[in-house]
Amino acid sequence: MLLVLFLCWSTGAHAQTTSLAVGEAKLKKPVIVLAPPSSVSPSLTATIAQIQKTIENDLNFVDQFRVSPGADKSTADYTSTGSIKNEGDHLSYEFHFAQAGGKEILAKRYTSDSDEYKTLAHSIANDIVFAITGKKGIFLTKIACSCDKSGKKEIYTMNFDGSEVHQITKLRSISMGAAWSPDGSKLAFSVFNRHSDNTKNIDLFDYNFRTGGMRLLSNRKGINSGASYHPNGRQAAVTLSYAGNPDIYLLDLDSRSTTQLTKSIGFDVDPSFSPDGSKIAFVSSRGGKPMVYTLSTANPSDVKRITYAGQYNATPNWSPDGRKIVFAGWIDSHFDIFTVTADGSKIDRYTKNEGNNEDPSFSPDGSMIAFSSNRANREKAIYIMNADGTNVKRLTFGMGNCSGSKWSPYL
């Protein structure tokens, strides 16, 4: 694990406009020259190369920079220097990062276990992004999803770039609807279960990464799904149908008591808390076609319809700044990814003519969107793209059909 990061010094109500994002003109990408750190230990040569390559890959992955690993600084906007050494069974990397002209904007000493050099590298890349943009990097975040690699739908997690895949559940059933707690320590999900009376049910659990244990959250008769943690981490918005109709409830995660938030003739599903907890976006068929609505958590009867496009909208999720909601919309005979402003005034489309695209989720910095798509060989996989719809990358391979992508908070 990364043991220490020592900071040495820091220098119209119904009116919507629709457009297809096809990639806007972008400003010139800053050029970063990463100079290899100096070292007096020949045994660190391979480790240094791996650290450098990891930092370079991270920065290139987000499509914001142009990274050169060489020593030519003539065209550089930013340059790095540093030194690395062994300290017992730890690595110590003193890293310096400066603008062209010599003004230093980052200087830290990073210490990690010797075998955790990739975590150290991701941390450095995160700090480089913050030094340049003022936003945290995403290189220690993860994506959760449901895949049927084993023949059954199980919950998996992977790094932001699709590496280091870990299977979370081994329930040999259908596990789905993964949702991260605000601190990233838990993952809620639903499972098709058989109860003692031999009836099948959709039950809600969470998995604790710190203890490795699972906890039952709700097994009321019918649907227990669609969990979205409140920012306080003590409550979750869920879909329950034990009263007969799928509605949105607030579930207390300790007492497991519930408070009903919606009650309509149609179904209300897919709740998603806004970043400040003041609103919940959800899908409702109360108006006929399933569309995205929001409600006020202070006054749940204050419900507003947000979308009026397509035949069916699903799985809304908020941007980290609370200004947009990303969702999947059925239009032109398949699902595509859209965003809508929180007041419903403007809608944008980000995928088209590329199969079905569903389950969108913003990265915690708002710069990227994870989603599932069957655009390649009809197998559903997890993809990511820039928040403007450009730079699409496939993350899952050999995992069977994957869906329900959810990006973690900063970890």
What are 353-409's pLDDT values in tens digits? Answer: 999 999 999 999 999 999 999 998 889 999 999 999 999 999 999 999 999 999 999
Instruction: Look at residue 46 and tell me whether its pLDDT is greater than 80.
Output: yes
How confident is the model at residue 198, as a pLDDT?
87
3-class secondary-structure state, position 239: strand
Specify the CATH number for the domain of residue 79: 3.40.50.11830
pLDDT in tens, 229-243: 999 999 999 999 999
* Residue numbers of the domain that contains 105: 2-133
Judge if 358 and 213 occupy the same domain: yes
| Whether 366 and 244 share a structural domain | yes
Q: What is the pLDDT of residues 258-283, one digit of tens each?
A: 999 999 989 999 999 999 999 999 99
Q: How far is CA 211 from the centre of its chain?
A: 22
Residue 344 near residue 305, CB atoms below 8 Å: yes
Asked if 395 contacts 407 with a C-beta cutoff of 8 angstroms, the reply is: no
Residues 347 and 250 in one domain: yes
Tokens of 183: 């601190």
Which pLDDT band holds residue 26 (cuts at 50, 70, 90)?
Answer: low
d(CA 271, CA 249): 9
Which strand ranges, in their side-by-side order, compose the sheet holding 247-252? 224-229, 235-240, 247-252, 258-260
Say yes or no: 365 and 298 in one domain.
yes
Q: Angle 339-130-87 (CA atoms, 0-180°, nearest 5)?
A: 135
pLDDT attached to residue 48: 93
Question: How confident is the prediction for the chain on average, in pLDDT?
Answer: 91
Q: Identify whether residues 173 and 106 lie together within a single domain.
A: no
Q: How many residues appear in the chain? A: 411
Using one digit for the tens of pLDDT, what is the confidence trace for 280-309?
Answer: 999 999 999 999 999 999 999 999 999 998
> Sheet containing 334-341: which strands, arranged edge to edge?
17-20, 346-349, 334-341, 324-331, 312-318
| Overall pTM > 0.75 | yes
pLDDT digit string, tens, across residues 74-123: 789 999 999 999 988 899 999 999 999 889 999 999 999 988 999 999 99
pLDDT digits (tens, 9 = 90+) for 336-361: 999 999 999 999 999 999 999 999 99
In this structure, the answer to whether residues 17 and 58 fall within a common structural domain is: yes
Which one of 111, 133, 155 terminates a domain? 133
Shared domain check, 78 and 147: no
